[in-house]
Amino acid sequence: MYIDIVGACNLSCPSCPMGNSENVNFKKAMQVEMFTKIVEKARSEGIQTIFLYNWTEPLIHPKIGEFIEIINAAGLESGISSNLNLAKNMEKAMLANPGFFRVSLSGFYQETYKQGHVGGDIEVVKQNMIRLHELKQQHGLQTLIEVYYHRYIDNMEEEGLMREFSERLGFRFTTGYSVMMPLEKSLAIAERDPSVTDTDRETLKRLALPPYDDLLNLVRHYANQSCSLKDNWLVLDCNGNTILCCTIFNQTEYQVGKYLDLPLAQLTRLKSTQKNCVDMCNRCAKNGLHVYSMYPNQGPLEAHAVNRIIDFQRHTIMGVPIESDQLGRNGEVSAENFDEAQYLHVNQDVRNAIAGGSFSSGYQHYVLFGRLEGRQGSGVFSPA
């Protein structure tokens, strides 16, 4: 279970809805009494873990420590994620001994960090990280502290520095490619909606996985894949409403009922039957954006991101400018120029995979794997 216990954030990150979308959600702090009832119901329904974040900054809540203690007292796992620019309630949270404390950041130096975490100060974050380490040591806390580094195509050189800094403090260091959120924003980009702003386009230039046509062409092949974000995750807003999924930002429109008013089975069923939710899920799946959200660091999506980063670094070294939507597409054959017959003729293993039902066509294999493997026989590359 993920709960936004507040309706605000102290930063305005451009790849996050708190920085790129109008906030029409509830903008209040959840009351302890409501939260206690939610935890009691969650425990009775078999929920084992409660994380106090989705879109917002949990350290804003003055009673964050009490919230963590309530979860722990119920015998459930507790966790928070923070940009760690706020020190005021950090100690309260840490001394409550959460099971998991994630620090979310995107650079080692301020010049880089401020682009992804607008309004933040990486030197403040580093000092607060040191303080977290001290608190853990002084009080013998068991909290797993994880530093999560958001990868952009232009911050990779600083990743190693932040990894070393984090691991010296005894923190676990993990990484992941940033994606454009929320779902509504990714859909606007995919569907050429005029609401996409110039600021959004500048952010897209920094992403290793912008939802451009080439990426959508890849993830649309997974349109029928089930969505664990909707089916397996329970997301509540600060007013106790159950939200369709964690990628949705308009929590007012895409909520299926108050968690305390309906049994879990009914809330889960409403996600798949309530008309506006069904319509949104269909739009999402049609564009493959559920896969974009679920697996940005795996398989073909990871390879796609690496390809863009390598291309960016190569052009940076050479001093040759390139449009962001062409990064990572060097040598790619378009759908119009793809030679299906030739591709199958020279790739026996692909023919065998299609015969075995692993792929529906040579083009599907090319989009997902072949173009990244440098396969022969795909046709003639035609530069845009």
Q: pLDDT at position 53, please? A: 95
Q: In 3-state terms, what secondary structure has residue 174?
A: strand
pLDDT > 90 in the chain, percent: 74
Average pLDDT for 316-340? 77
Q: pLDDT at position 114, please? A: 97
Residue type, 264: L
Q: Assign 121 a pLDDT band (cuts: 50, 70, 90).
A: very high
Average pLDDT for 128-135? 97
- The answer on pLDDT for 380 being more than 90 is no
Average pLDDT for 283-297? 93
Task: Decide: 80 and 52 in contact? Cβ < 8 Å.
Answer: yes
Residue 295 CA to residue 301 CA, distance in Å, equals: 7
Q: pLDDT at position 332, please? A: 76
- The answer on pLDDT for 374 being more than 80 is no
Q: Assign 134 a pLDDT band (cuts: 50, 70, 90).
A: very high
Q: pLDDT at position 25, please? A: 83
What are 103's strand-pairing partners? 82, 147
- The answer on pLDDT for 381 being more than 60 is no
Q: pLDDT at position 286, please? A: 93
Residue 262 per-residue DSSP state: S
Q: pLDDT at position 128, please? A: 98
Q: Assign 299 a pLDDT band (cuts: 50, 70, 90).
A: confident
Q: pLDDT at position 384, please? A: 46
81: left (phi over 0), alpha (psi -120 to 50) or beta: beta
pLDDT > 70 in the chain, percent: 97
- The answer on pLDDT for 59 being more than 90 is yes
Select the more confidently predicted residue: 296 or 359.
296
Polymer length in residues for the chain: 384
Which helix H or strand E contains 79, and what residues bound it? strand 77-82
- The answer on pLDDT for 383 being more than 70 is no
**Domain ranges in the chain with CATH number 3.20.20.70:** 2-294
Task: Decide: 105 and 90 in contact? Cβ < 8 Å.
Answer: no
Q: Assign 335 a pLDDT band (cuts: 50, 70, 90).
A: confident
Average pLDDT for 259-271? 97
* CATH architecture of the domain covering 2-294: Alpha-Beta Barrel (3.20)
Give this prediction's pTM. 0.88
Task: Decide: 20 and 203 in contact? Cβ < 8 Å.
Answer: yes
Burial of 219 (0-12, 13-18, 19+ CB in 10 A): buried
Residue 59 CA to residue 11 CA, distance in Å, equals: 12
- The answer on pLDDT for 382 being more than 70 is no
- For 26-35, 167-176, 348-357, 364-373, which range has the lowest pLDDT when averaged over its residues? 364-373
User: Over the stretch 201-251, which tens digit does the pLDDT of each residue have?
Assistant: 999 999 999 999 889 988 888 888 899 999 999 999 999 999 999 999 999
Average pLDDT for 330-346? 83
Q: In 3-state terms, what secondary structure has residue 286?
A: helix
Residue type, 325: D
Cα angle 60, 251, 225 (rounded to 5 degrees) comes to: 115
Q: In 3-state terms, what secondary structure has residue 186?
A: helix
- The answer on pLDDT for 130 being more than 90 is yes
User: Over the stretch 150-189, which tens digit does the pLDDT of each residue have?
Assistant: 999 999 999 999 999 999 999 999 999 999 999 999 999 9
What are 130's strand-pairing partners? none
Q: pLDDT at position 204, please? A: 96
- The answer on pLDDT for 347 being more than 70 is yes
- For 47-61, 187-201, 214-228, which range has the lowest pLDDT when averaged over its residues? 214-228
For the beta sheet containing 100-105, the strands, ordered from the edge strand earlier in sequence to the opposite edge, are 172-177, 144-151, 100-105, 77-82, 49-51, 2-3, 235-236, 241-243, 255-258
What is the average pLDDT value for the chain, to the nearest integer?
92
Q: In 3-state terms, what secondary structure has residue 52?
A: coil
Give me the half-sphere count of Cα atoms (radius 13 Å) on the Cβ side of residue 352. Answer: 4
Helices vs strands, H then E, count in the chain: 19, 9
